[in-house]
Amino acid sequence: MKTIKSMMNHLYWADGRILDALEKSATKNKDLLKLVRHVAVAEIVWLSRLLGKGTEHYALWEEAEDLTAVRTMFEENAEQYRVYIEGLKESELDEMIDYSNQSGVQFRTSVRDILLQVILHGQYHRGQINRALRIDSAEPAQVDYITFARL
């Protein structure tokens, strides 16, 4: 549980760092804005599944007009995940969750694997965003776990 909590704390930190880099770059790249919004919405979707709520009303790939709304989503996600994880017992990590994906296909996955999906999914897309920032001659965000762990 300690590792998952630490990795989730890294996720909250890294979400903020990538938003800071996007804001600093002043990018108008709609694909990057869509991608960072996708990460925020995916976090909401997975938490909803963990809580036994439906997710069909969430659109994973809508355009984002600006980063303010996305930052608000990330901040709300962090708070809701903190509450969820604080109430989670080690023994509950291997409980199975039944849910439907956005296409209505049924799945059954452990709480542990869902949390790892959230952690790894965000890191994957932050890497994509950083690469695009570098190509656009903007400064990418340092979001490596080790950088966070050294704080």
For the annotated binding site for a divalent metal cation, the residues are: 38, 121, 125
As annotated, the binding site includes 38, 121, 125
Residues 6+ apart with CB under 8 A from 5: 85
Q: Residues in the chain, how many?
A: 151
Does residue 107 sit in helix, strand or coil?
A: strand
* Helices 30-50 and 67-86, axial angle in degrees (round to 10): 20
Does residue 143 sit in helix, strand or coil?
A: coil
